[in-house]
Structure 1
Amino acid sequence: MRAPLEVADIFRHCGPQYRQTHADGLSRAQRRAMRAIELCRTIALGGHVEQCDACGHQRIAFNSCRHRCCPKCQSLARAQWLERRQAELLPKVEYFHVVFTLPEPIAALAYQNKRLLYDMLFRTSAETLRMIAADPKHLGAAIGFITILHTWGQNLQHHPHVHCVVPGGGIAPDGEHWTACRPGFFLPVRVLSRLFRRLFLEQLRRAFNSGALHFYGPLEPLSEARAFAAWLAPTAQAEWIVYAKPPFGGARQVLDYLGRYTHRVAICNHRLQRFDGDAVTFQWKDYKHGAASKAMTLAADEFIRRFLLHVLPDGFKHIRSYGLLANRHRAAKLATCRRLLGVVAPTQETSGVMDDYRDRYQRLTGTSLRDCPVCGRGHMVCIDTFLPGALPRAPPPHHVH
């Protein structure tokens, strides 16, 4: 049986030539992401030898790169993040999903100014939600929410947008009442869209006037003030896309959704179909035609280019919390919300101090990494470790993939 195709296979085969061909256009973060994915779960990162305590079967387990762009390294991070979020969900409250998307011309500029404009997207979408929710004409309450940045569409093109998961209510101005939204309806989308557009364009103009924006290639002429103003004018008249999905069915649905979206990378390995050394074929959903499932084939060079479009600047936080869920006062505000709703805080299981990654993975996902793949009765126990680049002292006699 042929091993499943991985992004790492494409990077290992074509990455060295890509780095040489595009040496001047790759950022340090992109180079680091490529290198991490290529080395993930190989001898270059070291690892350990495991042996079944029942049948004696041995296997080598190489270490993971743990890079956030690696399709293989997000399961445990996602499970741990979700465990922390579970305690913050409020029962008896509808949760809504709101998406803010940058128009295509602004998206092109955002790619050349990732840190500045992605921060701006976070800031203005959050301010939009908080301002409209606080308005007595709409909700009239202080709200809290989680925002997640995605920069890709299904075809891997650059498509920056943020997903916001928002409880359908908040704390009234007097601090002593919970104000709930109308069942099935959170905030008016058109009002959100207009305010989002105004706030973002105001901040973008300020960034230009302060000299904070950079322009390269086809956008270089926009560094002149008159050209920039003319280029920006149509976006001030266009409708910016803000999409509010129907409310989630309950707290479990919220967690399931967050689990799919929070630690996602541009493309998962299971969407890859073929790679012949020159071209990559992958599955994608065409949302312009009813989410029809289609296959797309790209030259390997173009596939790598599109994948690297979505590597974020070093240290950039792609998941942020605002309002009642902001880090500095989350615990106190959630306690107030529960008091006003008349609910108690959920109890959480805590892991022991000896919990290693396999115990945590099973506790959080329900999937065991310890079960012996041969006899199914025993557990795999670590009997040796080895450093990066070294071989284990007693390699398993079985062939290891």
Structure 2
Amino acid sequence: MKFIDILRDHLDAFNQAYEQQITTTMRQAIYAMISCRTNTQRVSQWACQSCTHTADFPLSCGHRSCPQCQHNTTIDWLNKQQAKLLPVEYYMVTFTLPFELRVIAKHQPELLYQAMFSVAASILKDFAHNSKSLGGEIGFTGVLHTHSRRRDYHPHLHFIIPAGSFNKDKKQWQKSRGKYLFNAFNLATVWRARLLECLTKKLDITLPAAIPKKWVVDCQHVGTGLPALKYLSRYLYRGVLPDKNIISVTDGQVSFKYQDSQSQTTKIRTLSTVKFIWLVLQHVLPKGLRRVRDYGLLSGNFCKLRQQIQLMLVVAGALPQVVGSPLVEEAKRIAAIRPCPCCQQPMTFMGIYLNRRPTSLTVTT
């Protein structure tokens, strides 16, 4: 059973139960998903080059919350990030929003998510600037995740960071020394102070009475950066819960599997269909919000400098990521493949038709 099927079958009950909590953005996502691949007036035409079979398919909605869309977007992002990979060690830094502030995030998500990005990025830049082993220009990519593995509301930011910096004056790459990049406890202390200051003084947001003194920031080594990129790509453009994780829908109950973060074992969670729909839809992001952001050396403004750094590191003896890397192979695996139902050979996209009249006949292979 697909999430969209569950949503379509139980939409009336969901609207009745959560009428006061459904936002305009959520309603737009719902409309997009239930219309996905059902509009027969807009179709893509495919033809098999091995036989004479042709077929028309309704277009996907393209919404970033839709679990059956955005295959190519994920591939494009993986390829772009692979091109930015440096042949150095990488770290993953995770900034978590405490439970007490999540009610603010639910009611003012755009303001709070933007504040989380700006504050966390400023902290990483300042820690790098003050680091004895760095001190130069660094680069990192940040990704917003709003859920835990159980799909509960749990906003946090992941940043993947190459372990080194570029000294503009010396025009040299400076490798980070030591077993860790930054002290996680110090990061957490500054994360708490700066985010609270931003919310109260800049955004004039009233904070809840009880705010924990200890916040959570994690900083861990992730090897070459490839495992972190693959992890971050899982939930970027294809919804919160893959359809393959939905196990059963019986007697008004939905069961889905997830991997427990503590035991690393697969567990089952069961909810009523209405609560399950809400569990997923509460993670719909505000329209226009960028959930992936590049900073410093990994931003678009540093493209030429980044290529120079990659060349410098290759000449110095580091091994670059080659075209046949596991990242590219993973992208190929994720790619949507439309086999011919007659001979099982790949079909070729022939164009888009509106009202059964061709608007494009550009052939792509």
Structures share fold, TM-score greater than 0.5 = yes
- Equivalent positions of 1:223-242 (< 5 A) are 228=207, 231-232=209-210, 234-235=211-212, 237=213, 239-242=214-217
Task: Give the superposed CA RMSD.
Answer: 3.2
- 2:246 aligns with 272
Kindly indicate whether residue 230 of structure 2 is the aligned counterpart of residue 256 of structure 1.
yes
Kindly indicate whether residue 198 of structure 2 is the aligned counterpart of residue 203 of structure 1.
yes
Match of 2:134 among 125, 131, 139: 139
TM-score (norm 2): 0.85
Alpha-carbon distance, 1:342 to partner: 5.4
Q: In the superposition, relative to structure 1, how do residues 380 and 135 fare at CA in structure 2: closer, same or farther (>3 Å)?
A: closer
Alpha-carbon distance, 1:330 to partner: 2.0
Q: In the superposition, relative to structure 1, how do residues 346 and 378 fare at CA in structure 2: closer, same or farther (>3 Å)?
A: closer
For the Cα contact (< 8 Å) 2:141–2:159, is it kept in 1?
yes
- 1:314 aligns with 287
Alpha-carbon distance, 1:186 to partner: 1.5
Q: Specify the code of the residue in structure 1 equivalent to 2:188.
A: S
- 2:353 aligns with 385
- 2:303 aligns with 331
Q: In the superposition, relative to structure 1, how do residues 251 and 284 fare at CA in structure 2: closer, same or farther (>3 Å)?
A: closer
Q: Sequence identity, in percent?
A: 29
Alpha-carbon distance, 1:257 to partner: 3.6
DSSP-derived class of the 2:189 partner? helix
Match of 1:101 among 76, 85, 96: 96
- Equivalent positions of 1:282-361 (< 5 A) are 282-288=256-262, 290-327=263-300, 329-338=301-310, 341=313, 343=315
Q: Specify the code of the residue in structure 2 equivalent to 1:87.
A: A
In structure 1, what is the Cα distance between the partners aligned to 2:75 and 2:306? 22
Match of 1:33 among 29, 34, 37: 29
Q: Specify the code of the residue in structure 2 equivalent to 1:201.
A: L
For the Cα contact (< 8 Å) 1:370–1:381, is it kept in 2?
no
In structure 2, what is the Cα distance between the partners aligned to 1:88 and 1:97? 16
Deviations 1:169-210 (A, max 9, x none): 1113635222211264211111111111111111112145x3
Query: Mean Cα displacement is larger for which, 262-271 or 28-37?
Result: 262-271
Match of 2:184 among 177, 189, 195: 189
Kindly indicate whether residue 342 of structure 2 is the aligned counterpart of residue 374 of structure 1.
yes
Runs of 5+ in structure 1 lacking a partner?
A: 214-222, 350-360, 393-401
Instruction: Name whichever structure is richer in strand by fraction.
Output: 2
Q: In the superposition, relative to structure 1, how do residues 36 and 126 fare at CA in structure 2: closer, same or farther (>3 Å)?
A: same
Q: In the superposition, relative to structure 1, how do residues 285 and 362 fare at CA in structure 2: closer, same or farther (>3 Å)?
A: closer
For the Cα contact (< 8 Å) 1:82–1:258, is it kept in 2?
no
In structure 2, what is the Cα distance between the partners aligned to 1:287 and 1:35? 33
Q: In the superposition, relative to structure 1, how do residues 364 and 102 fare at CA in structure 2: closer, same or farther (>3 Å)?
A: closer
- 2:219 aligns with 244
* Number of residue-to-residue matches in the alignment: 351
Runs of 5+ in structure 2 lacking a partner?
A: 359-365
For the Cα contact (< 8 Å) 1:149–1:162, is it kept in 2?
yes
DSSP-derived class of the 1:313 partner? coil
Runs of 4+ in 1 over 6 A off after TM superposition: 344-349
Higher-Rg structure is: 1
DSSP-derived class of the 2:182 partner? coil
DSSP-derived class of the 1:107 partner? helix
- 1:47 aligns with 43
